[in-house]
Chain A
Amino acid sequence: MNIFRFAGDMTHLISILVLLLKIYATKSCSGISLKTQELYALVFLTRYLDLFTDFISVYNTIMKLVFIASSLAIVWCMRMHRVVRRSYDKEIDTFRHYFLILASFLLAVLVHEKFTFQEIFWAFSIYLEALAILPQLVLLQRSGNVDNLTGQYVFFLGAYRAFYILNWIYRYFTEQHFSRWIACLSGIVQTALYADFFYYYFISWKNNAKLQLPA
C-alpha cells in the first residue's frame, strides 16, 4: 500500500467521522442527503461481498466492516432516530436515486471484467459510487447555505477520491501489470463531479467566509 492510497482511505474515514460527529453533536442531519447515504450503504454492501470469499489483509477487512457499519448506522439514524430524522430536508432531497441504481446496474451487466456474480456486483458498486454524491450535491445547491461540518464532510469525501487517483498513477508507474480501468475511469468521473464544489470551497476558505453555493 502506498502513501496516496493510505491518505485516501484516511480522508474517507475522516469524512464519515465528520458526518457522524455532525449528527451526534447537533442531533441534526440537515443538509445531508439520505439518498446519497442509502446509495453508499448499497455501494459497500455490494462491493464487499468478497469479505466472505477473499482475504487481503486485516486492514482491508476492518476498513470494509467499518464502512458497511457506519453507512448503515447513518441511514438508520436519518430514518429512525426520533430526534435526528425531524431535521432531514425531505422536501429538497428529491433526487430520483433509483435511476442511478438502475443505470449503474445496467452498465455493470454490460461492462464488467468477468461475467460472474461477484464481478458484476463489484462493477455495479464502482459505477454507483461514482454517481452516489449527486443527490448530496444537488441538495447543497438547493439549500444554498452549507454548514461547516457538512462542507467539511463533502470536502473530505472529494479529497479521498483525489488521493485515489494519485494512488492509481503511482501504481501505474510502480507495478508491472496494472489494468483496473473500470475503477480508474469511474474514479475520474466521480472526482470530476466534485470540481464545482471544490472551487467554491476554496474560495470560501480563502476569503475566510461561510461556504455558499450559487443557486
Chain B
Amino acid sequence: EPSFYPKDEL
C-alpha cells in the first residue's frame, strides 16, 4: 500500500 498524503513523519 503506497504512502500518499497524509504523511505522518516530519
Asked whether B1 lies within 8 Å of A60 as measured between CB atoms, the reply is no
Nearest neighbor of A44 in chain B, beta-carbon distance: B10
Asked whether B10 lies within 8 Å of A179 as measured between CB atoms, the reply is no
Nearest neighbor of A171 in chain B, beta-carbon distance: B9
Does A67 reach chain B (CB closer than 8 Å)? yes
Chain A residues near B (Cβ < 8 Å): 5, 9, 12, 50, 53-56, 60, 63-64, 67, 113-114, 118-119, 122, 164, 167, 177-180, 183
| Set of chain B residues within 8 Å of A164, measured between Cβ atoms | 9
| Set of chain A residues within 8 Å of B1, measured between Cβ atoms | 177, 179
Q: How far is the CB of A197 from chain B (nearest CB, A)?
A: 22
Asked whether A119 lies within 8 Å of B4 as measured between CB atoms, the reply is yes
CA distance A167 to B8 in the complex (A): 12
| Set of chain B residues within 8 Å of A180, measured between Cβ atoms | 3, 9
Asked whether B10 lies within 8 Å of A113 as measured between CB atoms, the reply is no
Return 26 A-B CB contacts under 8 Å, by A number. A5-B9, A9-B10, A12-B10, A50-B5, A50-B6, A50-B7, A53-B5, A53-B6, A54-B7, A56-B6, A64-B10, A67-B10, A113-B2, A113-B3, A114-B2, A118-B5, A119-B4, A122-B7, A167-B9, A177-B1, A178-B3, A179-B1, A179-B2, A180-B3, A180-B9, A183-B9
Nearest neighbor of A48 in chain B, beta-carbon distance: B10
| Set of chain B residues within 8 Å of A119, measured between Cβ atoms | 4-5
Q: How far is the CB of B7 from chain A (nearest CB, A)?
A: 7
CA distance A60 to B7 in the complex (A): 10
| Set of chain A residues within 8 Å of B10, measured between Cβ atoms | 9, 12, 60, 63-64, 67
Nearest neighbor of A56 in chain B, beta-carbon distance: B8
Nearest neighbor of A12 in chain B, beta-carbon distance: B10
CA distance A180 to B7 in the complex (A): 10
Q: How far is the CB of B4 from chain A (nearest CB, A)?
A: 5
Asked whether B5 lies within 8 Å of A60 as measured between CB atoms, the reply is no
- List 19 additional A-B contacts (Cβ < 8 Å) besides A113-B4, A119-B5, A180-B9: A5-B9, A9-B10, A12-B10, A53-B6, A54-B5, A54-B7, A56-B8, A60-B8, A63-B10, A64-B10, A67-B10, A114-B4, A119-B4, A164-B9, A178-B3, A179-B1, A179-B2, A179-B3, A183-B9
